[in-house]
Structure 1
């Protein structure tokens, strides 16, 4: 059991319960306590109530919901019997997951298609390289390589030309930056791991969004950090279904109550939900973190991917632009805008911390490959506007294709349409994402199940669908999803005779 609990007030739980839509068979002619228990169970498995959240006392919740206390008490007892609630006399009741519930696993590895193109990998959200710009940039980088090859090739802080390019891009986005504030890393994950190793000790609390990026959650677990999940608030979206919204009040309460060492956030086209956090809410987060003495680690790997934002609408400024102190550490990446195989990331921090990080990395990673850095520097220069427009157009086309195909072939599934990012966060109408992923392994489509993106095994009824597949393949891809969903719902798996048809590229 966690040593710090999120406490859910009766009005807050009542608002959440109003968004917990159970399937019709589950609500028809059911006693009120069964409906209430089912709604709370759904909120826990979908991550909207974090595991370990302290629920209101029975009498208080009964008053808020205008139900009898007996109804609430029986619902709580049902949840305890099913393993979704733990109680202790004098301490209250808090949410849980049953023994044997699937824990979050490691992120999926890409599976290449066979020669007939029978396998579609929807587990990885990374774009292909933008051509012809990538090939031209690589050729120019190779021409420069002999100059760097005359030395030892070790650049713990990064090749100067790339540090200058990254600093210039931050300045263009409204955050004045100098090269000595930039450390080049081997991918964003290299930067995130390095920052965690230097700033987070074993047993330190780290506040994280729920859901959040699967790789980082697993890295924090392995480092021995204690994760404190902060769920999104859910408000009705354009289609009437619940859409995730940044919950500034919850963040303030968690930072004040848990006083975490670090707060890890993805404010720009969040992975996996696609949510974009407004500038005023960023200020509120910074004020609460400052009061709690917490460092804010900002993941900006998707910050340039506003494919649904009109050019006339300014994006929120980087979080670090709103607080120039050393309180904010930012990690970015070339992998989500340029190419996943270009293993280039960076950390933006105070010069003193950059030097400290560089000194620490030499014991595990002397430096990032020079050729990759030179290619990235070329792409972040003059070609960047055209490259960015090309990549955003691809993402936009794929998003619109999924928005058309999913309701047609899987009408019970739902998702909030984001304005940017690399993925759709899809609710599978009660179907286990883990079961869907298992069925997909045999049905020609690999799926990232939702519980990988929860800090505590939640979000079982979600999957993440990347927008990095070609738009032309989307109808066939959704067809495969529909087929494996039908098989997973029936409790079976696709066998070797159920071969998927090749995708039309």
Structure 2
């Protein structure tokens, strides 16, 4: 019989809790567990160890664990299920990421909107459009429908995978109307209503929305500030027998972590043992910012797990206005993807595909300049946060588009509400949580100009002073935002 909810071992809890306050011990243990659940380091709907097991692992009295669990239940961070054990939750029920990720933020001209980790067009885009105009007449004699993509672009994308060590035929590429459309097609093709899909938490919220729309049941796998816990992820795969695992191994959104080759190989082994198909979101793969890293990136997950479905994006590497992405899959799965796609659309615009094909042919010229701009933005943001918000914690990613900042207290939602009154819009941690928690975090992209990033940080610091002093927003209200 398959366990429907993942469980966490007593030894893992003991490691996470560490040396908790013991005056009294049950309060210290309960508070440590509450923080771990609220931060997402222990996921939601996870079965906690039995009182006996945790007593042994922590070397405390049974009464300490019993009373700590009682405090968790009374405070809304756990619930007892008859005959099953104690399971994690958050007060007020589950808040799903997509509930806060649908509507665009509103503001005046002075508002600095950092909800979207999206940048301006790269140099050379106008010229790429001009060259594509010259190529377009060759396509005007036909109907203009290319469900798998314009052949020249399929070939360019396939060649990019070849160069990364994964031999790919153009027929293995499906060009889509953005990476999100690719995620929707994959979810429709490979899942049935009620089937489980493991997703990282935190993760890109629009992707989880696409999986939910397919009727799949999401199973969160925690990505903490230090990266992936592959032992815990492997245990989740064993316990839940998911159909898919949606993963972001390259500059994970929002944490910025980069999975090493050794980690990818270990993950591939766990996936194979449970016959789980990986869906690797590579939207940020080309955004390596550490010197030399762009030429020494880990191999794609598909190198280690050949049945991996890979999703790529032009939005982060080139420009969001192209609205193009792609799916790479084993040749045997392309017909299934095509059948799923026909229920959504009949192909991406031909003209923009020609533009992207031109840009990819000049990637060695375009991408280094683009990365230089991102490095400047990242460095400006890191310096500003260090100066104006010295109590915030973060690690500087080697690539990607954003800082994942840990606050001194779980006030992320309150901060973003107050920040909007100071003229800056950012996304709080719960937007990226699969089902609640992570309110100790906010994501701050470095895609704006250096001057805007410095000013935005000053405004965030002013908002944080208000929130930290009052412990919450002055006027609580929903914060519905568009996240990219």
Which TM-score applies when normalising by structure 2? 0.92
Q: Equivalent residue of 1:380, what SS?
A: helix
Using the TM superposition, give the Cα deviation of residue 459 of structure 1 relative to its aligned residue in structure 2, in angstroms: 0.9
CA–CA distance in structure 2, aligned partners of residues 446 and 264 of structure 1:
28
CA–CA distance in structure 1, aligned partners of residues 262 and 69 of structure 2:
38
Q: Equivalent residue of 2:168, what SS?
A: coil
Aligned Cα root-mean-square deviation (Å) = 2.2
- Provide the residue aligned with 1:277 in structure 2: 259
CA contact (8 A) 2:81 2:87 kept: no
Q: Give the counterpart of 2:277 among 267, 290, 295.
A: 295
- Provide the residue aligned with 1:166 in structure 2: 157
- Provide the residue aligned with 1:130 in structure 2: 122
CA contact (8 A) 1:331 1:348 kept: yes
CA contact (8 A) 2:3 2:239 kept: no
CA–CA distance in structure 2, aligned partners of residues 424 and 6 of structure 1:
29
Change (3 A) 1:16 1:4: same
Change (3 A) 1:112 1:101: closer
- Provide the residue aligned with 1:107 in structure 2: 101
- Provide the residue aligned with 1:43 in structure 2: 36
Change (3 A) 1:322 1:100: closer
Change (3 A) 1:83 1:250: same
- Provide the residue aligned with 2:480 in structure 1: none
Once the two structures are superposed, what CA deviation does each residue of 1:75-107 show, in whole Å capped at 9, x if it has no partner? 111110011111234422111112256442242
Once the two structures are superposed, what CA deviation does each residue of 1:143-175 show, in whole Å capped at 9, x if it has no partner? 212221222111111111111110111111111
- Provide the residue aligned with 2:245 in structure 1: 263
CA–CA distance in structure 1, aligned partners of residues 384 and 324 of structure 2:
34
CA–CA distance in structure 2, aligned partners of residues 119 and 283 of structure 1:
44
CA–CA distance in structure 1, aligned partners of residues 19 and 328 of structure 2:
39
- Provide the residue aligned with 1:422 in structure 2: 401
Any unmatched runs of 5+ in structure 2?
Answer: 477-484
CA contact (8 A) 2:417 2:473 kept: no
More displaced stretch, 289-298 vs 267-276: 289-298
- Provide the residue aligned with 2:335 in structure 1: 355
Structural mapping, 1:247-262, within 5 Å: 247-262=229-244
CA contact (8 A) 1:445 1:481 kept: yes
CA contact (8 A) 1:309 1:420 kept: no
CA contact (8 A) 2:183 2:211 kept: no
Using the TM superposition, give the Cα deviation of residue 220 of structure 1 relative to its aligned residue in structure 2, in angstroms: 1.7
Once the two structures are superposed, what CA deviation does each residue of 1:409-449 show, in whole Å capped at 9, x if it has no partner? 11221112211111111112214222122222222111111
Using the TM superposition, give the Cα deviation of residue 4 of structure 1 relative to its aligned residue in structure 2, in angstroms: 2.0
- Provide the residue aligned with 2:13 in structure 1: 13
Q: Equivalent residue of 1:454, what SS?
A: coil
CA contact (8 A) 1:127 1:337 kept: no
Any unmatched runs of 5+ in structure 1?
Answer: 21-26, 235-242, 496-505
Question: 1:224 and 2:215 equivalent?
Answer: yes
- Provide the residue aligned with 1:391 in structure 2: 370
Using the TM superposition, give the Cα deviation of residue 309 of structure 1 relative to its aligned residue in structure 2, in angstroms: 4.8
- Provide the residue aligned with 1:118 in structure 2: 110
Q: Equivalent residue of 2:226, what SS?
A: strand
Question: 1:331 and 2:324 equivalent?
Answer: no
CA–CA distance in structure 2, aligned partners of residues 314 and 358 of structure 1:
34
Change (3 A) 1:79 1:312: closer
CA contact (8 A) 2:415 2:473 kept: no
CA–CA distance in structure 1, aligned partners of residues 434 and 132 of structure 2:
41
Q: Give the counterpart of 1:304 among 271, 282, 286.
A: 286
CA contact (8 A) 1:106 1:214 kept: no
CA contact (8 A) 1:424 1:466 kept: yes
- Provide the residue aligned with 1:237 in structure 2: none
Q: Give the counterpart of 1:318 among 300, 304, 320.
A: 300
Change (3 A) 1:312 1:463: closer
CA–CA distance in structure 2, aligned partners of residues 360 and 93 of structure 1:
40
Q: Give the counterpart of 2:392 among 410, 413, 421.
A: 413
Using the TM superposition, give the Cα deviation of residue 67 of structure 1 relative to its aligned residue in structure 2, in angstroms: 2.7
Using the TM superposition, give the Cα deviation of residue 201 of structure 1 relative to its aligned residue in structure 2, in angstroms: 0.7
Q: Equivalent residue of 1:341, what SS?
A: helix
Question: 1:185 and 2:176 equivalent?
Answer: yes
Q: Give the counterpart of 1:371 among 351, 360, 376.
A: 351
Q: Equivalent residue of 1:166, what SS?
A: helix
Using the TM superposition, give the Cα deviation of residue 329 of structure 1 relative to its aligned residue in structure 2, in angstroms: 0.7
CA–CA distance in structure 2, aligned partners of residues 60 and 395 of structure 1:
48
Change (3 A) 1:261 1:311: closer
Using the TM superposition, give the Cα deviation of residue 134 of structure 1 relative to its aligned residue in structure 2, in angstroms: 0.6
Q: Equivalent residue of 2:321, what SS?
A: coil
CA contact (8 A) 1:244 1:273 kept: no
